[in-house]
A and B are shown apart, each in its own frame.
Chain A
Amino acid sequence: MIDEAVDDATGSDIASRMIDAAVRVPFTENSRLAEVGLDSLTLVSMAVECAPDTDQEIDAGALAQLRTVGELRQWLRALAGGGEPG
C-alpha cells in the first residue's frame, strides 16, 4: 500500500475524493450503495480512475459483493495502492 493513498479513516485520499464527488446525498460508512445511487457502472468508472496501473484486474464478482460505502472505500483504496482488491 502506498502511504500517500490514505491520510486518515475518511480523509482526502483519492478513494474518498471520488466517493465525495459521486454521492450527492448525505451518507455514512454504513450507507448501502444502492441507496446513495451508486450503480455498478459508476463503481467501475471510479475503479478505473483510482487504479494506477491499467494491467490491474478487477473481479466483477468481488465488485458485486460491495454493499456499503465503507466497503467501497476500502476496496478503492486497495486498488489505488496497486494491491489485489478484495
Chain B
Amino acid sequence: MTTTVRPSGPAPGTDAPWLAPLTETQLGLLMVHRTVPVPHLYNVVAEIGLDPARTDEEVRRALAAVIAVQPALRTALHAAPQPHATLADPPPPAAVPLRTEVTASGGHARRLGELVAELSTVVFDFAAPPLLRAVHVRAAAGDRAALLLVVHHTVFDGFSLRPLVKDLESALAGRLDVVALRPARERALHRELTAQRDAAADPAVEAAAVALGERLRSVPATVLYPRPGRPTETAFTGRRRELPLSPELSAAVDRACARLSVTPFVFFSALHAAVLARHSGNATVTFGTPLLARRTIGSYGLCGFFVHTLPVVVDIDWEAGFADWVARRVAPEVQSVKERAAVPFSRIVQHAAPDRIGNRNPLFAAMLAMQDSTEVEPGGAVLTLREHGTGTAKFDLWLGVTPTAGGWLLEVEHDPELLPDPVAEGVLASLAGAVEAAAGDPAVPLTGLFRDGSALPETDGFATGPPAGTLDGWFRRTAARHPGRVAVEEPGRRLTYRELDAAAGALADGLARRGAGPGTVVGLTTSALTDTVVTTLAVLRLGSRYLPLDLSLPADRLAYMTEKAGCRLVVGEGSVPGATVLGPAEAAAGGAPAPGREGPAEPGGYIMFTSGSTGRPKGVAMSEGPLLNLTGWQLAALDMDERTRFLQYAPLGFDVSFQEIVPTLLAGGTVVSRAPADRRDFPAVVRRITDSAVTHVYLPVAALRPFVQAARAAGAALEGVSHVCVSGEQLVADREIEEFFAERPWLTLVNLYGPTETHAVTTHRLTGRDGGWPAHVPIGRPVHGVTAQLVDASGRLAPPGVAGELLLGGRCPADGYINDPERTDERFVPDPYGPPGARRYRTGDQVLRDDRGTFVFLGRDDDQVKIRGHRVELGEVESAALTHDAVREAVAAVRGTGAGRELLLFVRPAAGAAPSAGEVTALLSGLLPAPMVPGRVLTVDAVPTTGNGKYDRPALLALADTLIARQERPAPEATAAGGPLEAELLELWSGVLGRTDLSAERSLLECGAHSLNVLVAMTTIEERYGAHVPLLDFFRTPTVRALAALIEAGR
C-alpha cells in the first residue's frame, strides 16, 4: 500500500469540499511523469468530427456542459502529503479552454495535422484543472468541422471517449441535464475512486499481483532488436505506421475468430505474440495490455482513468499449428489475464521487482491495445471519432487494433531509437504476413505465419578474380614474375621466390615418391617458418592436404588426429604416433623428379582440427575452392601486393596461418616470421614488427589490447603497418584501443569472423578517423562469393534486427569433417537458396543484421551470458570499467544459475590507486543498463590468464567468496547517519516505510520503498528542501546517503 492515511473525503451530499483518494494507477502515472523526459507523454489526443453547421458558440456551451458533468476533467491531482484528488468548480463557457479556428480552403487537413501536433505537446499542471484543451476547427467552405481535444491520461482512459462523446452529443442536442447530472456524477466519481481504493486492498488482488510478479520474474525480458549497446534511455519519440486490413481480409479475420471460437482480442494477441517471438527470438514473450478495471455501475458514465495494464505471457510452440496453439496457450492466458483485471500495474511492478532499464517501462517493451471506443451512433452531431498518435512512444513497440467501418485498422507505434525504421518495417511486414496467413487458414503451422524477412545481404565489395585455377598454379605465376624477391624471411634464413619454388618442387617430388598425392594427407611439425612454407606449398602442389600437428599436444590427441585424418607421413620433427616423421631435407632427398607431373590432378587443401569444447575434435577438410575465393578477396580487401610484408603470428594449427602465408605468397609479398619474438612477449613482437618493416599484422582478439599497450609503451608509431586484422572472438573496442588507432590514422583495423569450417567469411573495418567506435564491434558484411543467411526462430530468413543462426554457403563451406559423415551431415546441410546441390554450414552462432545491414555477432546458440533474460556482454562491462582511471585491468564473470545468477567484476587497480567498489559501481551505473552493472566489484592483485592468453575466469570465480568475505567486513561508519540531512532523511523514510532499522548506506528498495511511496517521499522532500531530485538517479543508488548528495546537488 502506498499510504497510511487514506483520504476518503466527506460523505457525498455534505457541504464539505470534495476529496477522494487517487488510484494506485493514477499515482503510478504521476510517478512516470516525473521520470520521463517528455511531460506530454501521456496526452490523449482525439479528433471528433462534428456537424459543420454547429457554431463556435454552440460547441463552447456544449463543452462547458460536458466539463460540468464530467468531474474527472475537473480534478486536481496531488501526490503529497497523501495522494488525493480535489475538485474544481465547472468553468463558465467563456473560461472553457477552447480555441476556435477557421481553416482556409484546401488547407483544412494540413491545419488539422498541425493542430494535432500542437495539442500533443500541451503540458498540463496537475494542480490546475481542467486537464483538457480543445480547438474547434471549421473549414471556411463550411463542409467540414472537428473538435480536437487533448486530455491527460491520468483522468481519461480509452473508454472515456464513449461517455465524453455521448455527453457531447446530448449537450449539442440540448438534452444534457447539467443540474441533475453534475451532483450525481461527482458522487459517482467519488464512489468509484473509493471503490478502487478498497478493491486494491483486497487480499485476492495482492495474491494475484504476487502470482503475476512471480510469473514475470521467471520469464526472460522480451527485447526487440536485441543489439549490444542498445539505448537504455530514450527521448520517447514515436512513429506510427498504419496497416489497414481490406474489407475482405477483415471479414476473413472475423471468420477465423468464429472458427477458432475466440474473440478478436485473443486472435490479435496470438498474432502479436508470434510476431514478438520472431523479432525477439524468445520462446516465451511478454506484452502488456490495458484492461478496463471500472468497478461501479455508475463509473461507466464517467470519464476517468480506470485501466489496469496487465502482462500477457505467451509460450511459443513453433512446432504447433496456429489453431491448436491459440486454443492451448493463447486463449487460456488471455482469459486468466482478464480475470485479474483488478490488479494495478504498479503492484505487479512491485512484485516482479524488475531490473529498471534506464527510463523505459520496467515490465513491458511491447503493448497490445484493443481500441474499441471510437464507434459513433449515426444521426447525431458527432460524425466521426478517432484517436491520434502524439509523436511519442511509451513502449518500444505498441500495436493498436481498432474496428472501423471499413474493417480492422492495425497501427504500430515504435520508438525509432530502439526500433529504427528498417526494423519497424520488418515488424509490420511480419504482422501483415501473419494476419493474412492466420485469417486465410487458421490451421496454418506457426512457422507458416511468416515469410523470409530479407534478401541475402550484399558483400563488402572487395574481390579479385584468381588468375589460376589452383593455389599452386597462382603461386608459380607469381614466382615466375619476380623470382628474385624474398618470399619468406626469418632470423638467419630467407628464401627468394625462385628458391621457394624450387624447394617446394623438390619436396613435392620426394613426397610423391613416398605415396603422397591427391586424396592423401601430409602432416606438418616443422618449427622453422621457411620449412613450414616450403612444405605447405609442396603439399598443395601435390593436390594433397596438409595437416598441422602441434607437438605440444598430448600423444593420444595427436594419435587421434593422424588416425582420423588418415595421415601416415609427416614432414618436420619430433615423433607423431601412427605416422612416419621425416625432416624436410630427408623428405625431399632421393633421386630424380617423378616424370610428367606439372600440376596436381585435383586441387588440395588442408585439414585443421577444431578445438571443440565438447566431444572429440573435428578435422575440417578445407579445399582450394573456398581458399582461392578467400585469397582473391583478401588481396583486394587488405591491399596486398609485392610490397606486403605479413607477420606470421598464428600457430599453424589455426586457419589464420593460411591467410598470413599463402595470400602473401600469391601477391608476391614476403612472409615475415614472428621469431625471434615469443608469441606472448608483446614488446618483442612490436620490436619485430618495427625492425622488419611488417605491413600486415593478424592477431587473436585477446592479443589486441596487450599489443596496443606494448606499442604505446614503446612509443612505436608503426608507420609501416597498414592493416591490423583480428579474429577469434567478439572484439570489444575499449577507449585505449580506439585512441591507439586515432593516433595512427594510417592503420585499418579489420575484424574478421569465420569458423574453421568456412574460414573467414565476414569483415568489418574501422580506422581511427571514423571516431565513435561501437564498443561491440560488428562482424560486418560477407566476403565476396559467400552467401550468409540468418535463419530466425520461425525458420525463415531473419528481417533486419532479428537474431538468427548464421548459415554460410556459396564459395566457403569446407568439404566437411574428414572421415566423419555423420557429423558432416549434421552441420553441412542443403542450401535451398543456392543452385541444386548447394550446401551451407550451420555455424550455431547467433547473429543479427543491424538497421544498416551490418552483421553483429551475439554469441553461440548455447553459451550466451544472460542475467534475468538480458544479454550481458562481458567485454562491454570490462570496457566500461576500464574508463575509470584507477582501473588497470577488469574482468567480468558470471556465477550461479537462474534467478541467483550474478555478475561479478574483478578489477586490478592501476599502480598506487585504490578504486572503491562503490566508485566503480557508480561509474558503471552511469554507463551500462542495470542488468550489466555487476552485483559486486572485487579487487585483485593480479589477473590470472590461460595458456592462450585469455582471462582465466574460472580461476577468478574460485577466489570470489574469499574476496567477498573480505569486502563485507563491516565498516563502522557505514551505518550511522553522516550529517543532519542524512539524519532527517532517515527519519522521513522511517515514517514512509514504517520501520526503524534503516541505515544511510542500505538500499531503500530492499527496505520496502517502491515507485509509489518514492513519489510521495520525493514530493515531500522537494517541498521541504526546495531541491529537484532526478528520480532515475535515485533509483540507480537508492540509499539515504546518495539521496542526500542528490539533494545537495539539486539545491
Contacts and interface: CB of A to CB of B under 8 A. Distances in A.
Q: Do A and B bind each other?
A: yes
A64 interface: yes
21 contacts: A34-B257, A34-B262, A39-B264, A39-B265, A39-B372, A41-B292, A48-B297, A48-B300, A54-B191, A54-B298, A56-B296, A56-B297, A57-B296, A58-B296, A60-B292, A60-B293, A60-B342, A61-B339, A61-B342, A64-B335, A64-B339
Interface string B189-204: 0010001000000000
Contacts of B373: 41
Nearest to B308: A60
Contacts of A53: 297
A41 B184 CA distance: 23
Most buried by B among A39, A53, A60, A64: A60
B503 to A, nearest CB: 83
A15 B806 CA distance: 60
A78 interface: no
Contacts of B298: 54-55
B80 interface: no
B373 to A, nearest CB: 8
Contacts of A4: none
B341 A64 contact: yes
Contacts of A48: 297, 300-301
Interface in A41-86: 41, 44-45, 47-48, 51, 53-61, 64-65
Contacts of B258: 35
Contacts of A54: 184, 188, 191, 296-298, 301
A12 interface: no
B263 A34 contact: yes
A54 B300 CA distance: 9
Contact of B297 (A32, A40, A51): A51
Contacts of A44: 292, 294, 300
Contacts of A60: 291-295, 338, 341-342
Interface of B: 184, 188, 191, 195, 257-258, 261-265, 291-298, 300-301, 335, 338-342, 372-373
Nearest to B306: A60
Q: Do most interface residues of chain A lie in helix, strand or loop, or is the interface mixed?
A: mixed
Contacts of A65: 339
Given A60-B291, A61-B340, A64-B341, A55 B297 contact: yes
A45 B295 CA distance: 13
B292 A32 contact: no
A34 B261 contact: yes
A61 to B, nearest CB: 4
Nearest to B260: A34
A31 to B, nearest CB: 11
Contacts of A32: 261
A34 to B, nearest CB: 5
A60 B611 CA distance: 59
Nearest to B262: A34
B295 A58 contact: yes
A60 B295 CA distance: 7
Contacts of B262: 34
Contacts of B295: 57-60
A60 B263 CA distance: 16
B338 A64 contact: yes
A44 B340 CA distance: 16
A32 B260 CA distance: 12
A44 B373 CA distance: 13
B338 A55 contact: no
Contacts of B341: 60-61, 64
Contacts of B372: 39, 41
A54 B183 CA distance: 13
Given A40-B263, A60-B292, A61-B339, 4 more contacts: A35-B258, A44-B292, A47-B297, A55-B296
